[in-house]
Structure 1
């Protein structure tokens, strides 16, 4: 009995003296010339009946018991056994008239030995051997079969069951007496077990664990890629593997960043020097001003009237002082002198307030806040915010770094700044300070990181927004992304469970 490859369809070929099956991995001997082949209808019906009994079982073990029970129901079969070949090992699933509670007993071990002997030769092995029509006997190794026959007596037949060129299980049949299995019985058993292998494979795959099923699907996908029509897929997968290897192994710059804004290195808040009303606004936000340039004028009518009132009182007190000196009234002269001093102090205060009524720029700057052009005549109180100025010759960058990444940022680290208005330009920055306190912004805790521009461009303006990236080291991008995701998961776990 020689080994043969599985075919696409099951068919009997009496002229060639050979039975072809896509499922059973063995070659039957040439049938005896005087014995006609069994009808195909009976073989198909028996195969379908056995197939239905297997699928009716809920587990692989239950299906194996149903199979051996169906085979052992024939009067000529004393015992039927089936073993599963999986991951290079063979184990008994079921056996009629045999207790498998002790697999180390002699009979189960002999059964497994005979089954493995047939598996190793990848063909059916019978003892006594089947004699072909030409009188020849296949040259097979039957050492384990002889040991099993000496133990149980009678005839022994082991039939490997396979599908897609792979052996899945082995069926062992035992018979009393000296009469062995003939070629006709070989062909009938092969037709009966035709659908057993696919049914057992489906049941076996259904009971496997998820990781074994995933591994099986992966191997099937890898085998499918070997087909000529999968050349484009293989190239894409190869390119993806190269890209993945690059992301996992190439040590690139590891950056953390966040939203950033440009501020002047020095800012000045201008407030109302006294109570009054807005008269004129000379500038608006975005205007550049020189030191001493007028910014805002307050109405001064009330102060002028107050100045005139105190000036008249000062003249009266001076006249009273001169009259008291002419009368030699020292008390009246002293009183008039005190009132003169009071009037002079009030006039000096009003003069200072008139001077402050015009707010001027303390240095060369840019107006970044305070549009009073729509508030002419509006009342203001002393100390109210009116305008904010920022220097234009030096700037600082304030970046908002998330709390997950702030631990990697340190003073002296470099980075880049991309402004929303000029996204194609990258400006080099250097961290100068990390704020030790966090603040909540849009539901996140962020830390403000201050940095300086190494080469500030001429078109830079305070108030511009963008994104800053700080280089905190060198790591492969894949591990950097996975580490960042792990940090977020750890923080979420801590927030949820405490």
Structure 2
């Protein structure tokens, strides 16, 4: 083997010593001496340092030409259809149509075809190879030795390095092993750079092509079965129909709701009922103090007796005008007495009918004053209810009077309660940043255990539509509205 120190002395290049072991595997980095390993790592770092792929290729070929004392180092990148020279050492620009580039490309293709390093002239013991293109490159352009190294990444050849030396400098086994070690690391580094430096549409196309190859190629049975299942589900989704229903929050209200108000200004005496109590018709809900009314009644009774006595005396004296005046005063006092009696009869606030107390709790307000007409209780019947649904404005266009639906209450989740839409209120209310319309429904049956203010979820059945429309119509309508807003 020729002394590597004599053949690889170049300006600025480190002096490398021959390897103590010659390995059949040219990429075994652990068998390289420390100084050679440092050179391999330096070259890999040089390939990774530039930001762009073109900068990396130019830096690599120029550094290799200097480090290996080569007249010219060429780098070819393999694509799906061809091998193209990407960079020449010490050359920023070059013409791909020149004879030199064609000869270099032919040499690189020769190495790709054989999938191994091609060396001309080969040292003693080198395996037989096809070197016609390399011989032609030497003959036409005066190179003393030509060597081409395939660059491997992910189990495939991604490029080729072709090194040319002039004069009497020939490539020996150690130099070839060093170059192959460099190529083993430079190949993946340059391929990574090239992958990241591609345009976005090319990246998308390559990704799509790779996944299509996975689907239609050999193997990958799990992927094929998964895609087949997805396709079947998609076909079912696009062709199957189901009931389209509008979902909304629902609350129960008494169909007839009466209030029990204070009949006159007074004070709370007792309050046995409170919200949530079930009451009978005429049951006492609360009472007002009647002491002042009793005193007022006694006062009016005394006034009536006095006026009656005076009237009788005026009649006895045959004083007709005075008797007429006293008769008018008696009627006035009798009216006040009747008013006091009426108030006394209404000191007890009773339930107007059998039902449940929806609101009102005066148990903490005993002896507190109340104004005339103040609402003290609200009572709703137990057997007649209406359902109030808050339908989103996006869905109100699908709802019509007479449509049927189902209700599930939070208190009775196991029961499905059918109802019918009875009324749509054309006034919206804003809640949580969205508009809702009040839709009233009536039960088709009379369920038990219901109470006013129970909440749940109601679903109004519209008609049968495709599942694809049911699950996507909200997004499509939102998109249609946004496009209408954005377009001029």
Fold-level similarity (TM above 0.5): yes
Match of 2:456 in 1: 466
Q: Provide Cα deviations, 1:165-197, integer angstroms capped at 9, x if missing partner.
A: 211111123455899978887666435534332
Which residue of the other structure, out of 429, 435, 456, is the alignment partner of 1:438? 429
Match of 1:372 in 2: 362
> Distance between the aligned counterparts of 2:259 and 2:107, measured in 1?
95
Q: In the TM superposition, what is the alpha-carbon distance from 1:81 to its structure 2 partner?
A: 0.9
Identify unmatched segments of 5+ residues in structure 2: 1-18
Aligned pair 1:93/2:86, yes or no?
yes
Q: Provide Cα deviations, 1:74-114, integer angstroms capped at 9, x if missing partner.
A: 787331111233565655432124342x5554358526742
Which residue of the other structure, out of 77, 84, 95, is the alignment partner of 1:84? 77
Match of 1:114 in 2: 106
SS in 2 for 1:73: helix
> Distance between the aligned counterparts of 1:263 and 1:239, measured in 2?
51
Match of 1:7 in 2: none
SS in 2 for 1:195: helix
Query: CA 1:189–1:333 in structure 2 vs 1: closer, same or farther (change >3 Å)?
Result: closer
> Distance between the aligned counterparts of 2:164 and 2:473, measured in 1?
60
SS in 1 for 2:451: coil
Instruction: Kindly indicate whether the alpha-carbon contact (under 8 Å) linking 1:288 and 1:366 is maintained by their aligned counterparts in 2.
Output: yes
Q: In the TM superposition, what is the alpha-carbon distance from 1:264 to its structure 2 partner?
A: 0.8
Aligned pairs for 1:289-308 (under 5 A) are: 289-308=279-298
Query: CA 1:352–1:136 in structure 2 vs 1: closer, same or farther (change >3 Å)?
Result: closer
> Distance between the aligned counterparts of 2:68 and 2:206, measured in 1?
43
Identify unmatched segments of 5+ residues in structure 1: 1-10, 24-39
Instruction: Kindly indicate whether the alpha-carbon contact (under 8 Å) linking 1:205 and 1:213 is maintained by their aligned counterparts in 2.
Output: no
Instruction: Kindly indicate whether the alpha-carbon contact (under 8 Å) linking 1:55 and 1:63 is maintained by their aligned counterparts in 2.
Output: no
Aligned pair 1:71/2:64, yes or no?
yes
Match of 1:310 in 2: 300
SS in 2 for 1:328: coil
Aligned pairs for 1:415-430 (under 5 A) are: 415-430=405-420
SS in 2 for 1:58: coil
Instruction: Kindly indicate whether the alpha-carbon contact (under 8 Å) linking 2:405 and 2:459 is maintained by their aligned counterparts in 1.
Output: yes
> Distance between the aligned counterparts of 2:470 and 2:167, measured in 1?
71
Q: In the TM superposition, what is the alpha-carbon distance from 1:340 to its structure 2 partner?
A: 1.9
Q: In the TM superposition, what is the alpha-carbon distance from 1:258 to its structure 2 partner?
A: 5.2
> Distance between the aligned counterparts of 1:75 and 1:419, measured in 2?
84
Aligned pair 1:410/2:402, yes or no?
no
Q: Provide Cα deviations, 1:39-90, integer angstroms capped at 9, x if missing partner.
A: x646x85464133123133344343233312332378733111123356565
Which residue of the other structure, out of 383, 389, 394, is the alignment partner of 2:384? 394
> Distance between the aligned counterparts of 1:73 and 1:87, measured in 2?
31
Match of 2:10 in 1: none
Aligned pairs for 1:167-206 (under 5 A) are: 167-175=157-165, 189-191=179-181, 193-204=183-194
Q: In the TM superposition, what is the alpha-carbon distance from 1:274 to its structure 2 partner?
A: 0.7
SS in 1 for 2:452: coil
Query: CA 1:485–1:309 in structure 2 vs 1: closer, same or farther (change >3 Å)?
Result: farther
> Distance between the aligned counterparts of 1:164 and 1:318, measured in 2?
124
Which residue of the other structure, out of 110, 115, 118, is the alignment partner of 1:123? 115
> Distance between the aligned counterparts of 2:124 and 2:425, measured in 1?
92
Query: CA 1:187–1:326 in structure 2 vs 1: closer, same or farther (change >3 Å)?
Result: closer
> Distance between the aligned counterparts of 2:327 and 2:429, measured in 1?
61
TM-score for both structures, normalised by structure 2: 0.71
Instruction: Kindly indicate whether the alpha-carbon contact (under 8 Å) linking 1:419 and 1:464 is maintained by their aligned counterparts in 2.
Output: yes
Would you say how many aligned residue pairs link Structure 1 and Structure 2? 451
> Distance between the aligned counterparts of 2:103 and 2:462, measured in 1?
67
**Greater CA drift, 333-342 or 52-61:** 52-61
TM-score for both structures, normalised by structure 1: 0.70
Query: CA 1:259–1:87 in structure 2 vs 1: closer, same or farther (change >3 Å)?
Result: farther
> Distance between the aligned counterparts of 1:12 and 1:198, measured in 2?
27
Query: CA 1:430–1:362 in structure 2 vs 1: closer, same or farther (change >3 Å)?
Result: same
Match of 2:345 in 1: 355
SS in 2 for 1:173: strand
Instruction: Kindly indicate whether the alpha-carbon contact (under 8 Å) linking 2:58 and 2:88 is maintained by their aligned counterparts in 1.
Output: yes
Query: CA 1:82–1:254 in structure 2 vs 1: closer, same or farther (change >3 Å)?
Result: farther
Instruction: Kindly indicate whether the alpha-carbon contact (under 8 Å) linking 1:19 and 1:187 is maintained by their aligned counterparts in 2.
Output: no
